[in-house]
Every structure is written in structure tokens, then in C-alpha cells.
Structure 1
């Protein structure tokens, strides 16, 4: 293991198809587990509306972060975007939101894995396979990104193929009464039902935005990153609509809303628990959950690595394996913490914490798109968000709506989230801000384009104003 990070960088191995597989793979467990907890008040129609709203939020945000990732191709991803646009403190808080999202998401997916194993083998406690899978994929990530990407391609393809099989077999057996009750009570909780379903509808898309954290490991980030992001979120939208329609159409709201394994449960409710697809979904369906679990490890490790490399977190967290070029400490320590969470919290509440952290980073990223267009209009943007500023504004509004929905879903856990960000803020002002390394990629900016019509261009950064000579590219030292 490396004792320091000198001359050790992340390995560039990923292409657009790898990014698509990783992006879809990390999210796809949302179709297998978690989204159904929001059905109690929303019903089918309310969940469908909530899903379409969240799909709009993610699609418009994906366009924005496609632009940002071509400007700032760093492992910091969301943190680096917010840091460039709004300064170090906002960048750090954005990074904490990302860590909260992924370190919490890991245990939730692991619990889903345990639930599917328990469906097949009731004598095996659900927590045991959850911990084992988590440990195995921490080892895979230490071995290397290319090896992981190859495995993820297989896992993602199998998971998507199995969902398609579920749709084909399930569609002819849908009971329309399950979707649209004859009583006319299509949305049991009314507007509140849709509102309360938003955090769970997010679970069908949550984590696609992690792809920019792989920018330093992508061969041609300016072309491949937008392709991977946009194709990924489009795939997830199609899958999500079919998943909620077929699952509820087969099993009904009462059964599916409380199922820890909604897809096998929905097939079993119509064709029996011994039907071949029920067993296949419970067996091969684990692939989707495993795919997401491994992707979550990748996401939190890159954010920890980036924040540590820049000095916001203790330096030892960015230690690299020289041979494998992987941040092994950033993989292991948060993973161990995640496994411990599996033993103490139920997934319903953990999802609320994870989505709250995610929404904090989403708001910051949407603001970053707008602020950087105003502050640094001359930056080279190989991909530009279409219909600017409509798309980032639409995404921003939906993010704010969703975060308020998260507030009221469970006030206790809302206060837990506020407490976490408060402690993080104290930590920043007391210690972290004095440790920042100005030579880290996210801190040491290179201006790629300047005004050609004048001898000097002025770029206003969050912490200082730097005069730039028109004939040279210069570094802005922070």
C-alpha cells in the first residue's frame, strides 16, 4: 500500500458504454427495492405522477451536470462544481451531502439484498448476506476500476434483461382494478400522497449523478460523460414506468407497499410463489441489487478521496494503492461504517436521510450551472445545456419541492440531517478550512478560454479576483 499519494493518480479506463453501465447499474436496485414504500398514500396514479416529476428533475439536472463535468473533469464531481461556483464552504457542504447520500444508500441496498436472499432461504438472517456482499465488493474496488467496470457491465446487462422479462411475463396478467380502483380513489392521500411519494420516487433515479466523479477515470470525458449521463437517465425513466405499472398491476397497493421484495411478491401474488419467474426474480434479481451496492461503494470512495486530497477531510483517507491506482482507505472505512448502519436502522428511514443529502447536492449543482454561466461565461463548454436557463431552473424548483417533501415525511430524521450538517459546518470552520491544499485539482483552476478582444480578461472566483494576461493560460492559486 502507498504511504503517500505522490505521482499516484486515478487510472483512465472508462468509455461511454462503461459509464452507461455504471450509471444504470448503481441506480437499478431502485426498481427492485425501496420505491414501493411510498405507495401507501399515493396509490398507483400518485406514484406515477411523483415518478414523472422526479424523472423531469433528474433529466434536466443531468443536462446541467453534463455541462459542468466537461468544464471541471475532476473526481470531486458535485463538490468541485459547487466549490468553483460558490466557494470552499459551499463546496464542502455539497460534498457532505454526497457522502450522506451514498454512505447511507449502501446499507439500504444491502438490506434489500438480504431481503431477497431471505425470500429464497428463510433460515438465513437477512443481515448476513448484506454484510458479505458489501465486503466482497470493497475488495473488487481495491483491485481496480477497469476490473470493476467489466463486472458492472455484466451485472447491469443481466439486471436490465431480467426486468424486461418481468415486464413481458407480467403485462398480460395485470389487473386494471389494482391500478385504477372502481371506487375512484386513485390517489388515497390526494396531493399529500403525491408529496409524500417524492422521496421514494427519487429512489428510482438516485445516484445517476455520481458519474462525474469518474471524470478522472474516463478516457474522453468531454464526449463520453454527456453520452453516459443522458443515455443512463433515459434508460431509467423507461424502466421505472414499467416497473411501477407491472408491480402494482399484479400485486395491488396493499401487498406491494409493504413488500421487501416487491417484484417476486407481485409475480407470486398472481402466479404463485413456486412459479419459475418468482424464483428467478428472487435469485437473479439479486444481480440488480448487487450492481447498485457495488456502484455505491465507487461513489462514496471517490468523494471521500477527492475531499481528502484537497484537505477537507484527513489526508490519510486519500491514500492510494500504487499498483492498482485505487483509494483503498476511502473504500474501506466508509464501507465498514455502512455495514454497521445495516444492523441498527430500517431502510425506510435510511432512504429519507439518503435522499435529503442527495437533494442538498442537487440544489448546489443546479445553482452552479447558472452561477458559472454568469461568472465565467468564457469557459470552454464542449457540451452546453439546451434551453438554458429553463432546464436548470426547472430542475432547481423540483429539487426544492422534493426537499420540502423530505422534511415532512419524517420530522425526526429531518432534524437528524440538520444536526449532521451543523456538525459538519463546525468541523469546517474550526479545522478543515485551515488544512486546504491549494494544489489539489479542484482547488487549482486552469482557465481554458479568455476573452480575445482585450489584453486582459478578468475572472472572478469565489475567494479572489485574478487578473489574467490574454496571451497565456495561468493558474488561479487559492
Structure 2
């Protein structure tokens, strides 16, 4: 099949990129981050939020350069493939796919609980299943249709987070913020909170995967990425401070609906805002759920188009030009995770996959600057090499944070990537498609699909 028959439709502009970036992350403000409070307390969580915020700002600066240099659907896989070869590209792609497929499961679990909270008669698992099917259909219809829905969800979700923050500020209790042990678990408590602080920002890195669907990726992608991450840093600090200031760290850490709990505890248990937060919290979950499906489907599509994954996963809908098999298959696996694990454990898998990809992408930026200094770079990351180095250091620290929270899941993650490496050597490296855009844009000299040295196209 020619590469022209496997190209995605170009429809996105800078405002849509900002909306998609904020939208895929926004549910982290409503659900998930609070699980880290038990070990960290407010001060520890605020430190973790700030540290992870720095990691994501520096990561996004690196991604802005890489995405304008290589505007392909492969995103993270494309960057590391060019810099470090097929195995590195594949491992990075697996990390991204794992992050978003499992992230979809977390978002769907959260959405199911919100539906159950609003309508107790509806089983949360049934609600999750219905939501999966609905968003599968939306994504198969097309990215433009999805982006329109996402902008509506994002506008509502961000507006209500700001409403919650400013409505709750006058009622913040200093005792709830700073009373008792400031950081119950000490340094290890902060370290254990890092994966949950990531939930306030995670999935931002999906935006480069949309470069192939941008009308003008060189101009629009850096603007969209950076505006989105700055928006999210502000929202993260507001949400953590106001929520804990109203509900306290101990009580908030156990809640599936932390913002509503905070208003009920710190303001008025009959407040009108509680119901609004529950409804809009569901919108936030749906926004992130929809974005995660978009991300894992594009990464799966790119890996399949390049031959690393089975060919059927890169099939496109003939009319809509959407990768329907890359939407359905990983999503179905994600739903199995919903049935098997609690969300707080799934977060440890999703963040591990994400951190592997962050390390590899930042390394790729450094390697490409050294190996290919004359490569066209319409946008250059400022303060190089400080930016990628800072991001790498924080990513490595966060990678080992699950040891402090749940060592079992740390070793589960190691096992997943070990299996992926074995799979690459046994099957994937023998089926690489040199006609895929990411493969054509490979390094100037490096390993070919069967190990031979080749030149790039």
C-alpha cells in the first residue's frame, strides 16, 4: 500500500491544538492526583506538583522543536527512531501506547464513578462500557468532529475549575493546609506523590502526534503546546491548594470526587456547586478519555504503518480516513484493565510508560543536535541543553517513584518492557516498512530494517 493511502487529513489549527492539549489533561484536576496526599500531605504534594510542572514545561519546549522538525503521526516514536534507531523508536512507541491505553482505562473508570455518583442506579462498569463505545464511534467519524466536541468540553471544564478555585478561596483553612505533619512521609513521601502529581499534566505529549493533521505544524504546534502547558500549571497549583485548603489532606486523599468533597467539607454540604462539579467533573473525564483514545490510536497506527505492529492495526476507514482498528483494539484491552485494577494502581502503569517516553524524547533532542546540527529546525528549544537535561533528570527520579508506592507495579512495568524488547527482536525488526513516513525520515546513516547500513530518503 502506498504511503499516500496512509496519510491523515490536515484540519487542525493552533486554538484546536491548545484545546486538545488542555482537554486531554483536564480530568487530572478532578480525579487522580489526590491519591498522592496520603504520603505527601499538602506541602509535599505542592512540591511534587511544582517539580513535575517543571518537568512538563521543559518537556514541552523539547517537543515543540522535535514536532516541527518531524511532523509525523508517529510523534515520540518518530523522534527516537531518527535519533537512536528502530529499537529505541519502538520502545518509546510502546511507552506512549501503554500510557494512553491504560490512561484511557483510568479516565473511563473515573467517568464511570462520576456517572454512578450522579445516578446511583447505574453501575459504574456499565457506564464505562457505554462511554468506550460512544467515543470509539466519535473517533472513527473523524478528528475534526472530535476536536469540535473537545473544545466544548474543555471550555466548560476549565471554566468550572476556575469557578471552584475562586469560590473556595475565601474559605481556605490554614490549619488544613499546614496543620499536623507538613510532609507525613518526608522525602520518600514526596517521591511517592510524583506519579499522582503527573496526573495534573499527563498526556500533554500526545500533541506532536497530531502534527500530521495540522494545517501548518511549523507555526501552530509550538504555540498550541506551550499555551496548553502554561494553562495547566496554573490550574494545577490552584486545584491542589484550594482542594486541600477546604477538605484537608487526609480526607481528600480517599475521595473519588475530591473537588465536590472539598466544597461539601469546607464551604457547605448543600452547596449548589457540588452538583455542578460532579456534572462538569464527568465532562472533564470525557474530555481526557476522548483525548487518550486519539493519542493511543495515532501511536498504534504509526507503529503499525511502519511494520512494528501487525498491519491490520493501520487500516483506515475509506471515507473518513481514520485508523479504526488502532482505535478499537487497544481500547478493548484498556477496558479489560478497567475490570482488573483499581484506578490508583493503573496510574502507576500509565505514568511509567509516559516517563520512559519522556526520557527517550529528550535524549533524542540532544542526540539530533549533536549528530545532525544542520537539520532544519523551524523552532529551537530555548536554553539548550539545560531544558532537555532538566527534563531527563526529573523523569528518571519520577520513574523510580512507584518503588515507594507499590514495588509490585514497578516490576510489572519492567516486565512489560522486557517482553516488548524480546518481541522486537523476534518479530518486529523483520517486518519494518521502509515506505512509512517515519522510516523514510530516519537517521542519515544507521541500521536498516534487517540490520544493514542505509541512507535516509
Give TM-score scaled by structure 2 length.
0.97
Query: Does residue 18 of structure 2 align to residue 15 of structure 1?
Result: no
Structure 1 residue runs of 5 or longer lacking an equivalent are 448-458, 467-474
- Secondary structure of 1:205's partner? coil
- Secondary structure of 2:381's partner? coil
Structure 2 residue runs of 5 or longer lacking an equivalent are none
- 1:190, distance to aligned residue in structure 2 (A): 1.1
CA RMSD of aligned residues (A): 1.6
1:28·1:289 contact (CA, 8 Å) conserved in 2? yes
Q: Distance in 1 between matches of 2:319 and 2:385?
A: 44
Match of 1:348 among 344, 349, 353: 344
1:111·1:127 contact (CA, 8 Å) conserved in 2? yes
- Where in structure 2 are the equivalents of 1:193-342 lying within 5 Å? 193-342=189-338
Match in the other structure for 1:476: 456
- Where in structure 2 are the equivalents of 1:75-114 lying within 5 Å? 75-114=73-112
- Secondary structure of 2:95's partner? helix
Query: Does residue 106 of structure 2 align to residue 126 of structure 1?
Result: no
Largest Rg, 1 or 2: 1
**Cα pair distance change 1:461/1:446, threshold 3 Å:** closer
Give TM-score scaled by structure 1 length.
0.92
Match in the other structure for 1:38: 36
1:321·1:327 contact (CA, 8 Å) conserved in 2? yes
- 1:147, distance to aligned residue in structure 2 (A): 0.7
- 1:5, distance to aligned residue in structure 2 (A): 7.5
- 1:462, distance to aligned residue in structure 2 (A): 5.5
- Secondary structure of 1:442's partner? helix
Q: Distance in 2 between matches of 1:266 and 1:303?
A: 37
Query: Does residue 358 of structure 2 align to residue 362 of structure 1?
Result: yes
Match in the other structure for 1:395: 391
- Secondary structure of 1:343's partner? helix
- Secondary structure of 1:384's partner? coil
Deviations 1:193-232 (Å, cap 9, x if unpaired)? 1111111101111000110000110010011111111001
Deviations 1:434-460 (Å, cap 9, x if unpaired)? 00001100000289xxxxxxxxxxx44
**Cα pair distance change 1:104/1:285, threshold 3 Å:** same
- Where in structure 2 are the equivalents of 1:42-61 lying within 5 Å? 42-61=40-59
Query: Which shows bigger deviation, 185-194 or 300-309?
Result: 185-194
Q: Distance in 1 between matches of 2:427 and 2:25?
A: 35
- 1:8, distance to aligned residue in structure 2 (A): 4.2
Match in the other structure for 1:470: none
- 1:116, distance to aligned residue in structure 2 (A): 1.5
Query: How many residues were matched structurally?
Result: 454
2:306·2:433 contact (CA, 8 Å) conserved in 1? yes
- Where in structure 2 are the equivalents of 1:169-208 lying within 5 Å? 169-181=167-179, 183=180, 185-208=181-204
**Cα pair distance change 1:5/1:394, threshold 3 Å:** closer
Q: Distance in 2 between matches of 1:122 and 1:129?
A: 11
**Cα pair distance change 1:367/1:462, threshold 3 Å:** farther
Q: Distance in 2 between matches of 1:38 and 1:334?
A: 28
Q: Distance in 1 between matches of 2:213 and 2:318?
A: 15
- 1:122, distance to aligned residue in structure 2 (A): 2.3
- 1:42, distance to aligned residue in structure 2 (A): 0.5
2:306·2:439 contact (CA, 8 Å) conserved in 1? yes
- 1:63, distance to aligned residue in structure 2 (A): 0.4
- Secondary structure of 1:7's partner? helix
Q: Distance in 2 between matches of 1:415 and 1:217?
A: 37
Q: Distance in 1 between matches of 2:76 and 2:3?
A: 22
- 1:339, distance to aligned residue in structure 2 (A): 1.4
Deviations 1:56-103 (Å, cap 9, x if unpaired)? 000001100110011111100000101100000011011110111011
2:92·2:356 contact (CA, 8 Å) conserved in 1? yes
Q: Distance in 2 between matches of 1:336 and 1:74?
A: 25
1:20·1:232 contact (CA, 8 Å) conserved in 2? yes
Q: Distance in 2 between matches of 1:8 and 1:415?
A: 37
Q: Distance in 1 between matches of 2:107 and 2:442?
A: 39
Match of 1:439 among 428, 432, 435: 435
Deviations 1:92-140 (Å, cap 9, x if unpaired)? 0111101110110011111111221222222322212122112101100
2:402·2:409 contact (CA, 8 Å) conserved in 1? no
